Structure 1
Amino acid sequence: MFELRSWQAKAGFIALLLLIAFFLFFPVYWALSSAFKGNGELYQLEPTMFPSDFYLGHFLTAISEGNLLLQLKNSLLTSTSSALLNAALASLAGYSFAKFEYPAKKPLMLLILSAQMFPFGVLLISIYPMLQAVNLLDTKLGLTISYIVFALPVSTYMMYSYFKQLPNELIEAAKVDGASNIKIFYRIVMPISFPAFITVTLYAFMWSWNDLLYSMTLITSEENRTVGPGLLLRYINENNSDWGGAMAASFLAAAPVVFVFALLQKQFIGGVTSGAVK
């Protein structure tokens, strides 16, 4: 066990934590401070730590001008849909690997995990012509399907590890009572595994929400564009860079993600025992 007995060790440990916190949170503070600064103060030669006058124009402009609200809607739709679909597929695959025996199970598991070894840009080279062949380019459905590539291998392994720890006696008792495999999965296994399901859902949602490469390549129309490319193309381009507007729009774009994590944080502390007792 790591113990801090002397006051010098405690002081050094606290200083290290403060240094790490500075590198983590100061960029966030600087971005938020810049969002409340007017352009005159933002671009002056001597930067200020605090806004001299809280300017809300960047936030008002981000909402009233451009397509930020439409882009947020598109991002929420594609990210939520892909996250739920990814979690459902990962749960089925993970349960199959954990509780069933069939030929080539281990090579198939390694094959799924090997997809995570390739850069996403390489996978995009294969995904693009596939979506083009079925007329799903520049559609929210095509983007949703492509997002599954991000998180499915890791999500499958996470669900496999969770299902592997479930007692087989629960499943055997249900089979004795005459329950089918499908009924066992949906009525017994999934209620117990709900915390793991929420975890992989949030993991996939985070990957999809933060995506820039796929959404810029597969989406070309303004009505289907998500928030990442929307912010980049509007605020940072070859003609100008509106840093104040970019910071304000970024915080508005981050608000739904923060809300989702705050809403579902209790699911992370749910245990297998409480689910089994219920």
Structure 2
Amino acid sequence: MYPMLWMILGSFKTQGEFFSNPTWALPESFNLTNYIEAFTRGNILVNYRNSLIVTIPSVVLIIFLGVAAGYALEVMIWKGRRQTLLLIMAGIMVPGQMILVPLFTTYFKLGITDSLWPLILTYTAMGIPLTTFLMAAYFRAVPREMFEAATMDGSSPLRSFFIIGIPMMKNAMLTIGLVQFFSVFNDLLIALTFTTRPELATIQVGLLSLSDQYGGTNYGALFASVSINIIALLIVFIFLNKKIMAGMAAGSVKG
């Protein structure tokens, strides 16, 4: 907890205190000047809005498509499903840096670079392989007899997916969803590559605006912005911690 406390206390220091006082020294006064600058110069509210606009649809698509793919690959019986799973898993081994330039060229030709769609599409595509692999493992822990019994009662594969598969995967979906949420929300490389205008910047890209073109940084405002970012994510994690642990335990036991 000390690094977080040090960062929060640093958000109340002036620029002069960062250079003249020891790094572990307490702030001389607790004023909100840095937080005001974070909301004005840093434009943190707009950045937060953009991050949520990008993150929420991306995570929803990742979870839905990943759960559906995991169900199709592990529960349904069809020729070539093992090879398909290996092909999807190969996507985990593709470094994101390798595909940024081709993706940017493609998005430019499609005419969507002046929007947040490139971020949503990229995050979704990059999150599906890992989510599919994990969801297949969760479905593997569910007794197949449950789905066979539903089939004997006349349930179609699609109906079994919605009335059996999804309800049984709630904890797993929450766990993977939070992992993907933090991954997308905290990303900088992809957001920086596809963000073409300051008003489209996400929170991580917005933090760069607190540094000028010559490398000078307003540390007080930067610490304030990072504190707001971290505290919000920490609150989400604390409230959902039990669900996360339940979802991790559910996938570790063979049913």
Q: 2:83 aligns with which of 107, 126, 130?
A: 107
Give the equivalent residue in structure 2 for 1:131: 107
SS in 2 for 1:121: helix
Q: Following superposition of structure 1 onto structure 2, how do residues 27-176 of structure 1 map, counting pairs within 5 Å? A: 27-44=3-20, 46-176=22-152
Structure 1: runs of 5+ lacking an equivalent: 1-24, 274-278
Matched residue type, 2:241: Q
CA contact (8 A) 1:59 1:249 kept: yes
Question: Would you say 1:191 and 2:167 are equivalent positions?
Answer: yes
State the alpha-carbon separation in 1 of the partners of residues 245 and 91 from structure 2.
30
SS in 2 for 1:43: helix
Cα offset, 1:48, TM superposition: 4.2
Give the equivalent residue in structure 2 for 1:233: 209
Cα offset, 1:29, TM superposition: 2.9
CA contact (8 A) 1:150 1:208 kept: no
Q: TM-score, normalised by structure 2?
A: 0.89
Closer, same or farther: CA 80–267 of 1 in aligned 2, 3 Å:
same
Give the equivalent residue in structure 1 for 2:238: 262
SS in 1 for 2:142: coil
Closer, same or farther: CA 187–40 of 1 in aligned 2, 3 Å:
same
Closer, same or farther: CA 140–105 of 1 in aligned 2, 3 Å:
same
State the alpha-carbon separation in 2 of the partners of residues 125 and 98 from structure 1.
34
Question: Highest CA radius of gyration, 1 or 2?
Answer: 1
For residues 184-239 of structure 1, the C-alpha deviation after alignment (integer angstroms, 9 at most, x for no partner) is 10111111110011111111111111111111111111221111111113336425
Count of residues in Structure 1 that have an aligned counterpart in Structure 2: 249
Matched residue type, 1:141: W
Q: TM-score, normalised by structure 1?
A: 0.82
Amino-acid identity (%) = 28
Farther-moved stretch of structure 1 (142-151 vs 162-171): 142-151
Closer, same or farther: CA 75–191 of 1 in aligned 2, 3 Å:
same
SS in 1 for 2:232: helix
Determine which structure has greater relative contact order: mean sequence separation of CA pairs < 8 Å that are 6+ residues apart, divided by chain length.
Answer: 2
State the alpha-carbon separation in 1 of the partners of residues 211 and 225 from structure 2.
9
